[in-house]
Amino acid sequence: MSRFAAPIAESIWDMKYRFKQADGTPIDQSVEDSWRRVARALSAREPEREGEFFEALADFKFLPAGRILAGAGTERNVTLFNCFVMGTIPDSMSGIFENLREAALTMQQGGGIGYDFSTIRPKGADVKGVAADASGPLSFMDVWDAMCRTIMSAGSRRGAMMATMRCDHPDIEDFIAAKSDPARLRMFNMSVLVTDPFMEAVKADASWDLVFDGKVYHTVEARDLWNRIMQATYDYAEPGVIFIDRINKMNNLAYCETISATNPCGEQPLPPYGACLLGSINLARLVQAPFEEGAALDGAALGQLVRTAVRMMDNVVDESRFPLEAQRQEAQAKRRIGLGVTGLADALLMLGLRYGSDGAAAQTEDWMRLIAREAYLASVELAKEKGPFPLFDAEAFLASGSLTHMDDDVREAIRTHGIRNALLTSIAPTGTISLYAGNVSSGIEPVFAYAYTRKVLQKDGSRTEEEVVDYAVQMWRDKFGDRALPDYFVNAQTLTPSEHVKMQAAAQKWVDSSISKTINVPEDIGFEAFKSVYLEAWDTGCKGCTTYRPNDVTGSVLSVSETSEEAPEADHGADVIYMSEPLDRPSALEGATYKLRWPESEHAIYITINDLVVNGHRRPFEVFINSKNMEHFAWTVALTRMISAVFRRGGDVSFVVEELKAVFDPRGGGWIGGRYVPSILAAIGGVIERHMIETGFLAGEGMGLKSDPQSEVVNLGIRRGPACPRCGQYEMRMVEGCMTCGACGHSKCG
């Protein structure tokens, strides 16, 4: 019998976490082999713990982050840490590019990175000694963005970056508006560092100085600046908001570090060179007698699992490799870990609690309090055994904001024995590992869709369909058959924004780092109501706020029809099927020919793209690529035939552009039109993209289909979401701040 609760879980394991040889031959023959490999690696210094670690991993009860599952015990030169905040960027050209080099080295190992660009002087400021004006932080962010694209094109996992800027930086208005250009800074998530004085100025309708290095560059109205942040977020889903003063006041290490950036999804505020090590307790696996009168979460089992997980994660600090020595030193000096949860919404459903209700919020707070208490006590026991973290200072540590409400017996234990890990709790995005665990609800998010259809590519090229069902919904089906779901079953689209905020605030009280959470708001929400979501997050103690409002710019996600008064039945979930038939060629087509001159090439390449008009819309139908350079003949003919064959199939063919633009030539790329292009194939992809934009097939550079006349959505209550760039299925959804595919687990944030 398979240990997997759903076929998609086994697919995710095979694709992402299964240890294989370079040629793809499996080394892990079963998921038990993977659990054994990880348990053995993390118990290398205390082998007597291997059995305990294996039992924690078994049946998906404890879910270390994907880096640990994929890398532990493989002897490969990879880091087991997910994300990093890089060093402080000096306000000098040499310092800026040294930080760029460090970022590239970190990304090469697959680490997501965060940066605070507030330390770079504003655009137009004097540059002493060279009689020039500064270009400003946004121009250097463009350089980082290009670097991330290049690293990704070279074959590493998709890069993820977070850029932050203080609300009092003179270039903050440009920072806020940066994502209004859809072609710019695509590799960044962006957040504004909002201070307490700024929020007070907003509420008081006071003026606000924009300052750098003690000099006031501009004075604006605080409320106007806040409205700019809100309008950009309303229109483009960015920037996010980080309440940075609150983060620093609550930080256990406020006495020895200052935080000004987070990892890409925001759940780990980190100091310079800080690293986040993540893992999640699967609450859905700990509920006893689900859906029955006496349903309850097994508190004793939860406590034991937390204690084992803390020990395992502490061992990762010593077993992991690091891209930079500074990252290793930072991790070992403070030994911070981020233990969180997944399957929260499913666990609440099993207890008959409606996500977003007062009862669900109270239960969430109780569970998070128990996890925090057990984690801190487990870390105290580790300190007795192995010593506290090197920078531990008892009184300073206990004076931090997050420790003031901790139980007295825990505080006394810390004062007497010290503590092994400076910070212990965090709630991370768990999009992929939640699929691996049987499609449990991710993190503390509500259930997104009760069920949807996934298309699976078979070895013979055919596609089969399988239903992917939420873990709690499947359990209900197994228990009660076709009985209708109770009214306490709700999903992300049927909740009010206030209910989302309530759940985030309930969990935040007992989380010493932060929480990755997306507050879904309806497309037609009014601007004033939208702004109130952020003020509510501020007033209720959240450390940040991220919203997602589907629209023509951000793209729609699969959602419940707004005309429906009830949640959909389990078997009528997000069943989206994309239909397209091969297109017939008429005798004449409209087209255009483009001349592409590749640097240092003797002959130009000519690219002809012909379009078919369907229902008044132009769409690409065929491509011809010609060059006098005979060295190009074979591959240009092959490319012509392959691209044309794809175009003639109809449907969403925009992925052709992304695939070509991602091709990296190890011999080096070239500069075309002031932009670095990683290969001649990427240049051809750029030409095709430009043509698609000019004919209206694409809305803009890097954007998906504007209008596809061949698409048909089956099940009228559901809107089609954007296609996944990896598997092509229409299951992209916003999960904890990142567009994530529900079918294959692909995420913009890696």
Instruction: Select from 92, 169, 89, 88 the least CA-distant residue to 128.
Output: 92
| Residues 264 and 160: beta-carbon distance below 8 Å | yes
Domain housing 619: 590-694
Tell whether 309 is covered by a domain.
no
- Cα end-to-end span (Å), the chain: 31
Domain count for the chain, please give it. Answer: 1
Tell whether 584 is covered by a domain.
no
| Residues 253 and 334: beta-carbon distance below 8 Å | yes
pLDDT, residue 634, reads 84
Residue 154 banded pLDDT, cuts 50, 70, 90? very low
Do the bridges between strand 463-469 and strand 451-457 make them parallel or antiparallel, or are there none, so unpaired?
antiparallel
Neighbouring C-beta atoms of residue 524, cutoff 10 Å: 9
| Residues 341 and 367: beta-carbon distance below 8 Å | yes
**Pick from 125-134, 183-192, 322-331, 467-476: least confident:** 125-134
Q: Copy the structure tokens of residue 61.
A: 């009860």
| Cα distances (Å, whole numbers) of residue 56 to 285, 316, 382 | 11, 15, 18
pLDDT, residue 570, reads 34
pLDDT, residue 210, reads 98
Catalytically annotated residues: 263, 265, 267
Encode pLDDT of 222-260 as tens digits: 999 999 999 999 998 899 999 999 999 999 999 999 999
Tell whether 174 is covered by a domain.
no
Tell whether 636 is covered by a domain.
yes
Q: What is the pTM of this model?
A: 0.78
Tell whether 195 is covered by a domain.
no
Tell whether 673 is covered by a domain.
yes
Residue 663 banded pLDDT, cuts 50, 70, 90? confident
Tell whether 437 is covered by a domain.
no
pLDDT, residue 225, reads 98
Residue 670 banded pLDDT, cuts 50, 70, 90? confident
Task: Average the pLDDT over 442-455 and give the result.
Answer: 86
pLDDT, residue 420, reads 98
DSSP string, 201-253: HHHHT-EEEEEETTEEEEEEEHHHHHHHHHHHHHHHS--EEEEHHHHHHH-TT
Is the model's pLDDT at 666 over the cut of 80?
no
Encode pLDDT of 694-732 as tens digits: 888 887 776 544 333 333 332 223 344 566 655 556 667
pLDDT, residue 645, reads 86
Residue 107 banded pLDDT, cuts 50, 70, 90? confident
In percent, how much of the chain has pLDDT > 70? 85
Tell whether 321 is covered by a domain.
no
pLDDT, residue 637, reads 86
